[in-house]
Structure 1
Amino acid sequence: MLTLQRKQHLLEILERDGQIVAKSLSERLGLSEDTIRRDLRQLAKEGLLQRVHGGALPASPAAAPFVERQRISSEAKPAIGRAAAAMIQPGQVVFIDGGTTAVQLARQLPQTLRATVVTHSPSIAIELVAHPHIEVVMIGGRLFKHSIVGVGAAAIEAIGQIRADLYFMGVCSLHPEAGISTGDYEEACVKRALCHAALKTVVLASPEKLDTASPYQIVPLTQIGEIVVNTGVAEALIAPYRKMGIAVTLA
């Protein structure tokens, strides 16, 4: 089998099975593990999958630029935003992450809600400029242009001075084995700090992010309180989280 044919076959297996285990696949195809791993490394460099220990998982479409991500799951994200907005109680202090799903959450906050939103996302702050009763606290730092959020030591230091009731986390990838991950190291550090500074973390997971992986883990799934997903998501994709004791809200 030629290299190009072999790599295409690997992608077909990944799409069908949702993962590749290098050892078992090498035995099934009669190829060396080194050959399989080399192909996986090359495919990962091309952004076609995400390498993990022992094999590979699908790469997240959330690696695309912000403007392009706005067109992905455009019907699911407002529904997720509405469900998340309904969780906020009057008087609470809430962290809202950056990202396209989080923008939908900000848009769904009722005009009568009195609360404080802390965010490192200029996009979220702008959405709430006209809200009559929400106090907005901005976290600064270096602008990570891909997600339009502040990152770096200054952001993490500021987050450490706040205690929030809820953190609505946007993610690139969510997988029952690989956990919660994103594509940038500094962004992962900021999300981790936000999670540690909140009493409860709620993950906003639009359909394209489920069962995918990105390079940098944020926190273990044990630190997550709830996941909000679209009501059309297959039960098989969310059953592992329920089994772990994580609440799942269908939007």
Structure 2
Amino acid sequence: MQRTRQDAVDGLLPDQRERLILDRLRQHGRVLASELAAELHTSEHTVRRHLRDLASAGHCKRVYGGALLASPAGEAASTRMREAVDRKASLAVVAASIVRPKQVILLDAGSTNVAIAQALPDNADLTVVTNSPEACMRMLERPGFDVILIGGRVSARAAGAMGATALLQVQQIRADLCFLGACALDPDEGVAAFDAEEAELKRAMVSASGLVAIAMTSEKLMTAAPFVVAPASAVDYLIVESDVPAERMSRLEAVCDTVMVAAS
């Protein structure tokens, strides 16, 4: 007798159910316990137990009603600087296009923002305030930049200054535009970071800036990190890659003011 798809689902072992749930997370970014329970013909209690186990293993973050895929951005900056270099350069070109002459730019740490520092136009009379020593190096000795490096304890994971000194300096700035580094972004859960101190500094950057822009590789979209920075609606410009599915793009466009797509 031919075995139906439903027979196959009904006969799944617990480990197989977890792999299927993880596959759904990777496909969609977010899963709902009620929908998974219906698909797997099991109880929501069982699904929540699987989600709890996946969260404990670092694969997802529990949210109300289900879970979000965990952001892959928790790696050390030294690793992230070597990853997706060409993709980040494409995002940086689009990000730099929104900059206007004589602006005060607040540039957060992060590998994509280092690419933005390189892409910023020469001779535009820009004042760039950054907590990233690497980004600072990309602008030194180039014409048209007044670079201000924020001080404080430098985080090896973020490759940027953190702590009370950096926070105080950011709170004294009034920037026209901030390029915010984001570990994760979801339309419902907002912008998030992996470290509480880092999230506090990012919140101060948002408060200090007239406009907020985020350039983000696709794998960090529709993902979660532990510490909330800002709602997605606080993002004035979101720069994404061209491989973002239409359904995800629609959700992002519904909450962010302007979504721009980098060339592939």
- TM-score of the alignment, normalized to the shorter chain, above 0.5: yes
Equivalent in the alignment of 1:158: 169
Aligned with 2:254 (options 222, 243, 251): 243
| Larger deviation, residues 35-44 vs 169-178 | 35-44
Query: In the TM superposition, what are the counterparts of 1:9-20 in structure 2 within 5 Å?
Result: 9-20=20-31
> What are the Cα deviations for residues 133-154 of structure 1, in whole angstroms up to 9, with x where unaligned?
2111111222221111112222
CA distance in 2, matches of 1:81, 1:71: 15
Change beyond 3 A, Cα 1:114–1:146: same
Q: CA deviation at 1:228?
A: 1.0
- Please tell me whether the aligned partners of residues 73 and 207 of structure 1 are also in contact (alpha carbons under 8 angstroms): no
Change beyond 3 A, Cα 1:248–1:54: same
Which has the greater radius of gyration? 2
- Please tell me whether the aligned partners of residues 171 and 182 of structure 1 are also in contact (alpha carbons under 8 angstroms): yes
Matched position secondary structure for 2:73: helix
Matched position secondary structure for 2:211: strand
Equivalent in the alignment of 2:215: 204
Q: Does structure 1 residue 4 correspond to structure 2 residue 1?
A: no
Change beyond 3 A, Cα 1:20–1:97: same
Q: Does structure 1 residue 22 correspond to structure 2 residue 1?
A: no
CA distance in 1, matches of 2:109, 2:177: 15
Q: Does structure 1 residue 123 correspond to structure 2 residue 134?
A: yes
> What are the Cα deviations for residues 30-76 of structure 1, in whole angstroms up to 9, with x where unaligned?
44434322322222222222222221111112112223223443322
CA distance in 1, matches of 2:28, 2:113: 30
Equivalent in the alignment of 2:4: none
Sequence identity percentage: 36
Matched position secondary structure for 2:128: strand
CA distance in 2, matches of 1:185, 1:78: 28
Q: Does structure 1 residue 89 correspond to structure 2 residue 93?
A: no
Q: CA deviation at 1:28?
A: 4.0
| Larger deviation, residues 47-56 vs 200-209 | 47-56
| Larger deviation, residues 9-18 vs 168-177 | 9-18
Q: CA deviation at 1:245?
A: 5.5
Unaligned runs of 5+ residues in structure 1 are none
Equivalent in the alignment of 1:67: 78
- Please tell me whether the aligned partners of residues 235 and 256 of structure 2 are also in contact (alpha carbons under 8 angstroms): no
CA distance in 1, matches of 2:85, 2:215: 14
CA distance in 1, matches of 2:253, 2:35: 28
- Please tell me whether the aligned partners of residues 174 and 209 of structure 2 are also in contact (alpha carbons under 8 angstroms): yes
- Please tell me whether the aligned partners of residues 187 and 222 of structure 2 are also in contact (alpha carbons under 8 angstroms): yes
Q: Which runs of 4+ in 1 moved over 6 A?
A: none
Unaligned runs of 5+ residues in structure 2 are 1-11
Matched position secondary structure for 2:251: helix
- Please tell me whether the aligned partners of residues 73 and 208 of structure 1 are also in contact (alpha carbons under 8 angstroms): no
Matched position secondary structure for 2:85: coil
- Please tell me whether the aligned partners of residues 237 and 256 of structure 2 are also in contact (alpha carbons under 8 angstroms): no
Q: Does structure 1 residue 219 correspond to structure 2 residue 215?
A: no
CA distance in 1, matches of 2:197, 2:106: 18
Q: CA deviation at 1:19?
A: 2.1
Change beyond 3 A, Cα 1:245–1:38: closer
Q: Does structure 1 residue 231 correspond to structure 2 residue 242?
A: yes
Q: Does structure 1 residue 193 correspond to structure 2 residue 207?
A: no
TM-score by length of 2: 0.87
Change beyond 3 A, Cα 1:127–1:22: same
Aligned with 2:110 (options 82, 99, 103): 99
TM-score by length of 1: 0.91
Letter in 1 for 2:187: P
Q: CA deviation at 1:118?
A: 0.5
- Please tell me whether the aligned partners of residues 60 and 70 of structure 2 are also in contact (alpha carbons under 8 angstroms): yes
